[in-house]
Amino acid sequence: MSDESILPNSQSTTPTQTPWWISDSQPLPAPIPVRRIATVTWYMAVAMSLLAGVVGALIGRSSFVGSNQLVSVHNSVERAPNSIAGIAARVSPSVVEIDCESSAGSDTGSGFFINNNGYVMTNNHVVEGAVLSGGKITVKLFDNHFYTAKLIGRDTSYDLAVLKIDLTNTAALQLGDSDKVEVGDAVIAIGSPLGLQGTVTSGIISAKNRPVTTSSDTSAGESSYIDALQTDAAINPGNSGGPLVDASGAVVGVNSAIASLGQNTSGQPGSIGLGFAIPINQAKKTAEQLIKSGHSTYPIVGLSLDSAFTGPGAKIANIPTAIKAGGPAEKAGLHAGDIILEIDGQPIATASDMVVAIRSHSVGDTINLKYQRGTVTKSVSVTLVASQ
């Protein structure tokens, strides 16, 4: 049983309109009788007026068209480098489409170059099916060139994976600092939703530190726990693994999950403005580990939690193996049955909240736990260690 595991029950036709040239008015009244000379004179006057008008119109049109005072119009519109169009033009060539073939069929996701040697970051759930079934992963570049990809490593705990294609001098995206992102900051998502490569959507950061838990159909019950950035930029199936960039074009998140109230016409959930991205600071650490060794770790306290506990708080399971021998929790004096109420002053509502909060830190960080044992509330400091 993995550390910080959550033990089950431990003991989503326009109507026809009358043309303007057809009058709905009553017929004109009969002309007033006049003397013939007067009638001839009237016709001549009308003819002269019409002729003058036509000549004047022709002269006026000729004068307007031939005028040298017209403002010149350029054939192209200049856009600022920091506009959405400018950022999209710079970022899009480094974003790729990922096509996966597995025993269950085919699927599409997104990814982006993180260095100049052909390394691509994406979500684990994008490639997992192909990896487990011995399928094929293909990377499609912005210029429509295709490359067979090799899996460097994947991490189910953070829903991340790194691929590599046989290509050098790839234009990599700049990785920003997700810790500096603030609610309300403008962001842009780029990817291949529903297989539509190069799709650009924009919005803002709607919230930070959202505890998001996702699970895969193929990972035998393994879940990913994300301390996510929430955005209202439209994110749909196929955007997974693509970059969420800030107003400078730097990546601040890896698009990973969406919330949906229903199904669209293709049978897939659509965007309702609730998208979630893995903060790039976490994704960067995981990617570096995967590139270096093919494996990655995450921080743990060394305990198992009871998913049946309804809170508030996260309850340590009442089983003999709930506290890992020699782990941080044991060294801190935590016991089975203790209820974790806060981590670093932030309230913990559920077991998932606690796992997300811990995994948002790094190995070696020291955190403060406030917990309840019976009727007594205590606090203790715990230094996180790496998962095995």
Q: Is 361 a catalytic residue?
A: no
List the beta bridge partners of residue 277.
229, 255
Query: What one-letter code names the amino acid at 308?
Result: A
Q: What are phi and psi of 90, to 5 degrees?
A: -80, -40
Q: Which one of the listed residues 125, 227, 256, 271 is annotated catalytic?
A: 125
Q: In the numeric block, which tokens belong to residue 246?
A: 């800030």
- Concerning whether 240 is annotated as a catalytic residue, the answer is yes
Is residue 237 a contact partner of residue 125, using CB atoms and an 8 Å limit? Answer: no
Q: Output the CA–CA distances (angstroms, integers) from residue 118 to 91, 158, 167, 293, 388, in the order listed.
A: 16, 22, 5, 17, 29
The active-site residue, picked from 240, 296, 307, 360, is 240
Which DSSP letter does residue 215 get?
Answer: E
In this structure, the dihedral spanned by the alpha carbons of residues 178, 355, 109 and 198, taken in order and rounded to 10 degrees, is -20
Element spanning 276, H or E: strand 275-279
Which amino acid, one-letter code, is at 14? T
Identify any residues that bridge with 101 across adjacent strands, giving them in sequence order: 106, 136
Task: For residue 37, give the 3-state DSSP assignment.
Answer: helix
The active-site residue, picked from 3, 155, 159, 246, is: 159
Instruction: Determine the length of the chain.
Output: 388
Is 344 noted as a catalytic residue in this protein?
no
Q: Which two tokens stand for residue 265?
A: 């016409």
Q: CA-to-CA distance for 321 and 300, rounded, in angstroms?
A: 15
The residue to which tokens 């013939």 are assigned: 36
Spatial separation of the C-alpha atoms in residues 160 and 251, rounded to whole Å: 15
Q: Write out the catalytic residue numbers.
A: 125, 159, 240
